[in-house]
Amino acid sequence: MDRQIESIAVIGLGLIGASFAGAYRKAYPDAPILGVDVSQEAIDELLDRGWITQGFGPNAPELPEALNTCDLVVIATPVGSVPEYFRMLADCDYQGIITDTCSTKAQIVEEAQAILPHLDHFIPGHPMAGRRAALQVRATTSSRTPTGSCALMSILRPMPSRRSMRCSRRSARAW
C-alpha cells in the first residue's frame, strides 16, 4: 500500500514553486510545507500567506536535516541550480521522493543519474499551466492559485524498481 505524503519541501519559491506551495496548502491545510529560496523576501511572503510553515535560505546549516523530515521535495529552481540541491539531498541520504519542475529533462536526468544515490526516488516532472494563471498568483496577496493545472510525471527507463511506480503515484497525488 502506498504511504500518503504528509510533508513536503519546495525548493525555489518563484512562480512555479510558490504556486505549488499555495495549491498544496489549499488542498492540505494542515500539512507541513518547508520553503527554500535565495530570496528572504520570497520566504517571508509565503510565510505571511501561510503557504509554507518553515523557510530556509539555501545555505542554512539546518536545511539538510529539515529536508530529511519531508516525504517529497519539489525542486522549482533554474536548471543550473538543480545539481547543488541534488548533491545536498545525496549528502544527507534523503530517502523521500524528489521531483523537479524544470523545462528541460535531458540535463536534469543526466545530473540525477550522476549524483543521486537513490535514482528510483527521482520522478522527473514538468508542470503545465498557463503563464497568465501563474502570474495571478504572484501579483495578488490572496491565496488564489492556478486551478485545473496539471503536471507531466515521467519514470526513468530502464525502470530501476517497482518503487519508481509507487513514488510516481505518490508524487502525482501532490500535484
Would you state the pLDDT for residue 1? 38
Q: Is 148 exposed, middle or buried (0-12, 13-18, 19+ CB in 10 A)?
A: exposed
Nearest to 85 by CA among 14, 40, 118, 36: 36
Per-residue confidence band for 103, with pLDDT thresholds at 50, 70 and 90: confident
pLDDT at 119 over 50: yes
Average pLDDT in the 3-25 region? 92
Average pLDDT in the 48-74 region? 97
pLDDT at 141 over 70: no
Average pLDDT in the 117-136 region? 70
State the Cα–Cα distance between residues 151 and 23, nearest whole angstrom: 13
Structure-block grid coordinates of residue 72 = 517529497
Would you state the pLDDT for residue 112? 95
pLDDT at 165 over 70: no
In this structure, of 44-58, 63-77, 110-124, 129-143, the range with the lowest mean pLDDT score is 129-143
Identify whether the C-beta of residue 152 lies closer than 8 Å to the C-beta of residue 126.
yes
pLDDT tens for 81-102 read 999 999 999 999 999 999 999 8
Would you state the pLDDT for residue 86? 98
Nearest to 167 by CA among 87, 111, 85, 112: 112
SS3 101: coil
The secondary structure of residue 120, as a DSSP letter, is G
pLDDT tens for 19-49 read 999 999 998 999 999 999 999 999 999 999 9
Would you state the pLDDT for residue 161? 54
Would you state the pLDDT for residue 175? 55
Would you state the pLDDT for residue 18? 95
